[in-house]
Chains A and B, each alone.
Chain A
């Protein structure tokens, strides 16, 4: 493997890993804020206990999101310096704004929220978690605007003298159709993920009859969140597919391993055949579905890989413009499949727990335990699909991945950081998961036994 391959592996590994924690942070911060709002408005102790319980799990997760996020910002310069030089004029701005608007908001107000339980008036304290939550959303928006520019570059021109891309229209970058629809798709997916996380933990307690007053409403809230967010994921994903077909038709063709242009085009649920899908032994197909996804019409024409390859060679010169089809084909299906499965379990969960019922069905409890993993897998496959499907480009139609890496950083150096970070991330994953399980099992705190008196010398309500 050369430095470029290693840098790509590193980008994939640390980005997918980072995005385990991000969606839980984004979704759960809003859910915790909602629970705390319910407590402030109703005064019911169950809401406070739920806030503290989910808040604690949220913080264990948040720490990982923060520290792995630093690597994200550094690695563009470390491994992708040619890319950074080329796009910095455009790509750097949303990144810097993300820091100034979002990271400061998140981290400062989360600090206030964690340590401010007994230092701030109730409503001010409530505002801190909402502000932190808004910070996470802003962060998502700006980083997705940056990524969307790579998928569909807008508002720029190429300066032939410097050989760099230059920003000409910043509002166009922020209102990029790709960014808007990707934001909707990602944020709904974040809520689906956080809902699934809550569902698994709540189900664990409900099955054992622990703290029914906290975890029954918890489970039902979680299941509703999964269902509603799931509908949002599918609707936004549907719009996104059409936007993508228009902007990156090759990615859509690679999602189906569609080699020859078809009208109408069917969608294969799965295929048994050669790895790249050129030869097919058997497949389960839904007629016209790909046409519907890609064009909005069941009889629409979907361009195939071969035609697109020929067209791209004409436009961009000789080369291979086909992404690695086995990955795009399967990651696309797994993304949809795991998302849908989480929704199905949530729907069954809602039905079987209606009006205080508790199901006895062991398979269902087992499925509820696995629910948390499903959106995490769906998210990962979604990112793998959209990033791998853009290849061989790092900026679609403008800059190739092969021209993006750092020219003076050798394979040994990249390998060192790849190994160091992967091992470190692996160890931290074990520690984090252990802590999450430990604190999830411990259950919600018992209701407080009477009011603490106000005094400057009493112990802190929370301390590290």
Chain B
């Protein structure tokens, strides 16, 4: 297999990994006001992803960096072309990341409410916009002969891409609910399970429509197969959620996200960004790629280090495998500031 194809596959793996992992982080953030009835419950929700969300987000950075290294033209066109949506995603990720770290640092309801808003919006916007972005990548955008994006911001908000956005939003929210049912106990677990069933139905409709639209307009055998497999996994996940088989439900939503991402990438291949102006202006795995020498070095680095990373990230999940309940949440510790100021 050519190295350009290998790297196209690796980029797909990185995005699939990112959506699989940060997908449930986003879902938890979106469901914060829905499932977190009081402060302690909200803290349970946040702490289910506390130790892992940052490591999950690195998948995005590596996907971006790998695209830069392996397909510089793709990276350049994508990031300069999707400028404003990416700016919104950046702002969202900044606010959300800081919010996790800072919301518990001051014992004030106003303080916590503001950071909660950052978590909710900061999770919801990327969950929606990544789907819009990938919808546009698959659909094709206005690229000129220099591979520069010459469309406008509003061109990106076409119905197909928006349905893609709703798909990632629905899938990630469902994924988050299923994750919470698996990682918590008591009331939150029950409610997350109930919610997963209702969200599951919505996700089946939206994601089904999106995948069907994708395959009907530009599908091939590989794309159809993977889309069908994703659909089966999704229905399986909803069925498992219905029967309260939480582990299986999570496996199902995880498989759905990975398979759906794979379906999009397989449908896209061998292009990486089709041009809607002229077929010949499209970016492909060949004309967007780095030199064979760079790809060879990057392949060695990936082969050696990816298993190590997967190993220690998996271990993290093992260390924090226990279900969380409100009993596990320590009370807010007031700062020993008053004690200090009496000394001074």
Q: Chain A: residues with CB nearer than 8 A to chain B?
A: 59-60, 62-64, 66-71, 73-74, 76-79, 81-82, 84-85, 87-93, 95-101, 103-105, 107-112, 114-116, 119-120, 164, 166-168, 170, 208-210, 406-409, 413, 416-417, 420-421, 424, 428, 431, 435, 438-439, 441-443, 445-446, 456-464
Contact = CB atoms under 8 A, between A and B. Distances in A.
Query: Of residues B62, B327, B343, which shows the largest number of chain A Cβ atoms within 10 Å of its Cβ?
Result: B62
Contact of A88 (B73, B98, B328): B73
Contacts of B190: none
Interface in B144-190: 146, 148-150
Given A96-B66, A424-B91, A115 B79 contact: no
Contact of B291 (A87, A166, A463): A166
B313 interface: yes
Interface in B45-102: 46-47, 50-55, 57-58, 60-62, 64-73, 75-81, 83-84, 86-87, 90-91, 93-95, 97-98, 100-102
Give the dominant DSSP class at B's interface: helix
Contact of A460 (B58, B77, B106, B330): B330
B335 interface: yes
B113 interface: no
Nearest to A434: B106
B47 A435 contact: no
Interface stretch (B196-204, B233-241, B274-282, B293-301): B293-301
Contacts of B87: 78, 416-417, 420-421
Give the dominant DSSP class at A's interface: helix
B313 A104 contact: yes
Nearest to A406: B80
A100 B301 contact: yes
B58 A104 contact: yes
A428 B95 CA distance: 9
Nearest to A408: B148
11 contacts: A76-B68, A77-B78, A81-B148, A96-B66, A104-B312, A115-B51, A406-B83, A421-B90, A438-B335, A439-B335, A446-B336
Interface stretch (B213-221, B247-255, B258-266, B315-323): B315-323
A179 B330 CA distance: 46
Contacts of B150: 408
B293 A168 contact: yes
B301 A97 contact: yes
B75 to A, nearest CB: 5
B290 interface: yes
Contact of A84 (B60, B68, B337): B68
A167 B293 contact: yes
Contact of A464 (B98, B104, B336): B104
Interface in B81-133: 81, 83-84, 86-87, 90-91, 93-95, 97-98, 100-106
B62 A408 contact: no
Nearest to A61: B101
B94 A70 contact: yes
A95 B51 contact: no
A464 to B, nearest CB: 5
Contacts of B335: 438-439, 442
A88 B343 contact: no
Interface in B301-344: 301-302, 305-306, 309, 312-313, 316, 319-320, 322, 327-331, 335-337, 340, 343-344
A96 B65 contact: yes
B294 A413 contact: no
A435 B55 contact: no
B98 A460 contact: no
Given A63-B98, A85-B73, A408-B150, A95 B68 contact: yes
Given A81-B76, A100-B301, A167 B46 contact: no
Interface string B27-56: 000000000000000010011001111110
Given A98-B65, A439-B335, A119 B330 contact: no
A329 B125 CA distance: 45
Contacts of A407: 146, 148
Contact of B294 (A66, A68, A167, A417): A167
Contacts of A435: 102, 105-106
A87 B86 CA distance: 22
Contact of A100 (B80, B93, B309): B309
Contacts of B294: 89-90, 92-93, 166-167, 170
Nearest to B101: A63
